[in-house]
Structure formats: structure tokens, C-alpha cells
Amino acid sequence: MSAPAVHRLRGRFLLPLPRQGSSPPHHLPSPALDLLPVHGQGQQGGQPPASSSAAGVVGGEVAPRGGAPVRDARPHRQAHRSITIAAMPGELPDLKMLALFGCGAVLLRGAGCTVNDLLDRDIDNKVERTKSRPFASGALTPSQGVCFLGAQLLLGLGILLQLNNYSRVLGASSLLLVFSYPLMKRFTFWPQAYLGLTFNWGALLGWAAIKESLDPAVIVPLYTAGICWTLVYDTIYAHQDKEDDLKVGVKSTALRFGESTKQWISAFGAASIGSLALSGYNAELAWAYFPFLTAAAAQLAWQISTVDLSDRADCNRKFVSNKWFGALVFSGILCGRLAS
């Protein structure tokens, strides 16, 4: 490899150094487990990071990337919620499983980012915010991306093999969603819904890893809540790119909802909170769960009511604020299980 491709360690990921004479790639902190730092340093003019509305890809870095906080946490948050609900009453969740799913989520998201970058490279190079991504800019070749994807999947397989057989089947089946997601915005105005199906799969997988089965009364509403939440925050995020999406011919719920976006995401937000309440009730979580859920509902209502959908920076701020929604829900589940 040539000198520009020399790698060094930034945080926990191996990233390519920029070519001499070119602008440096955007860089964001590596993901933490659940409460993640607000990013944005290194962005010019206060613009949000170059990240597609669905896969959370940060321009100029090799996937897996330490990208948007909500996206980094998304797969393992649902799994962590599910694992915690599945814990015995009055007991902490299985810490080994929490750690395994945390690592697995980083690899899963990284694989999704790699696939997304590869498939979208001819779209990304037409959009100002994304044209510096590694494949779109030519910093990396598709063959390098395929090799890196293979390494990610191999590591992910090592984690999957530590789970029970039921979970292995569920985990392997999620790859179909992960790999097909980047194509959805070419064919439907609802890629955010497909994203919800994909990145909330951990609701099923986390429970199965503990129970070796699924309880529809608990898991179906938990999964539904995650999908509806995704439709809220990723629609807000997609409003940043709506003009560029129109130019390049890709679709999103931001374009589908248009001026009615707040009405739509209000309905999805209400459905998410209602589904979380139902899941907690069916799982027999103690009363301590519901004050946290009420606070999470207030946080979501604040986002929806105050977001300026014509302001990219505000859309990004509201999107990032979902880390607090996720933290409140998880804290509520944990307290509800310990007090039950």
C-alpha cells in the first residue's frame, strides 16, 4: 500500500491517514457503551457530521466508525434492555451477556457501515456532506472494503458462537436485514422503518440469549417500541439531507412526510411509549420503571415539539439528544427489574 494508506490507531479503531494535500477526514469519538458523548468537533461551520440517515457512516473513516452516538448505541441498547428485562426479579442482568452484546453491536454496526459505504459510493460522491467518505472519495478501494467486511464478520461469528443455538439462528438471520438495508432508500420512502427492523433486532436476540426462547407478550411490544423510536429520530435526522436526496433520487420518510412530519413522528413517539409501557407491564417490572418511562416520554415530546426541521444543526442536536431517551428507558428497566 502507498504512504497515504498507512494506518494509525485513533481511539479504538484503525483509520487511514488523509492523503497529503487533502482535507483531513471528519473524526468523532469512539462509541461508549450506552451514554455517549455529544460529537461535532472538527466539523466545519457547525455542520453535523457526514453520516447517512440510515447507517450512521462518518466520512473519511474506515468502518466500524465512532459515529453518531445514537447509532453506535442502537443495536446493543435494545439487546441490553431485553437482557435486563429477562433477568430474574431483584437481580442484575447477566454482565457477560451485556459485554458480549456490546462488542457484537460494534461489529454488526461496523459491517453495516462498510456495506452501506460500498453500495452508496456513487451516491455519496454527489452529496457535499458525504463526498469525503473513504469509498466515495477513492481513499479506499471496494476490494479493500470487502476484505475488511470479511474480517468484521469473522469476529462477529466468534461472538455468535458463544450464544445458545436458538440465538445463533436469530443472530445469523439479522445479516439479511443488515446487508439489504442500504438498498431500501432506492426503492421505498420508508427506509427508516426498515432500519428500525434491522437495528432493533437485539430485542429478540437479547431475550433469546438468556431464555433460549421468545415471549411474544414482552418482546413484540419491546421490538415495536424500538421500531417506532427509530422512525422518530431517524426521520428528524433525514431532514438534514432532504434537498440532496431529491437531487440524487433517493427516498426517505422526511420526503414522504414533508410538512406533516411532526404529526407523523408524534404518532410514532406515542406508539413507542405505549409499547414500552405494555412490555414493562407484561414483564412484571416494578413501579420504579414507570417514572423513568414518563421522563423518557417528556424528553421525546420535547424533541418533537421544538425541532426546527428546516435547520440542519437543530435536527442534528435533537437527534443526538436521543441518547438521553435511551438512557432513561434502560435505567427504568434496570430499576424496575431490581425492585420487582
3-state helix, strand, coil in the chain (%, to 5): 65, 0, 30
DSSP string, 197-248: HHHTTHHHHHHHHHHSS--HHHHHHHHHHHHHHHHHHHHHHHGGGHHHHHHH
C-alpha grid cell for residue 52?
447517512
Residue type, 201: W
Q: pLDDT tens per residue, the chain (340 residues)? A: 444 333 333 333 333 333 434 433 333 333 333 333 333 333 433 444 433 433 333 333 343 343 444 445 455 688 999 999 999 999 999 999 999 998 988 888 888 888 888 888 887 777 766 777 788 878 888 888 899 999 989 999 999 999 999 999 999 998 899 889 989 999 999 999 999 999 899 999 999 999 999 999 999 999 999 999 999 999 999 999 898 889 888 999 999 999 999 999 999 999 999 999 999 999 999 999 999 999 999 999 999 999 999 999 999 999 999 999 999 999 999 999 999 9
Instruction: Give backbone dihedrals phi and psi of 237, rounded to 5 degrees, phi first.
Output: -65, -40
Where do the structural domains in the chain lie, given as residue ranges?
10-15+50-338
Would you state the CATH architecture of domain 10-15+50-338? Orthogonal Bundle (1.10)
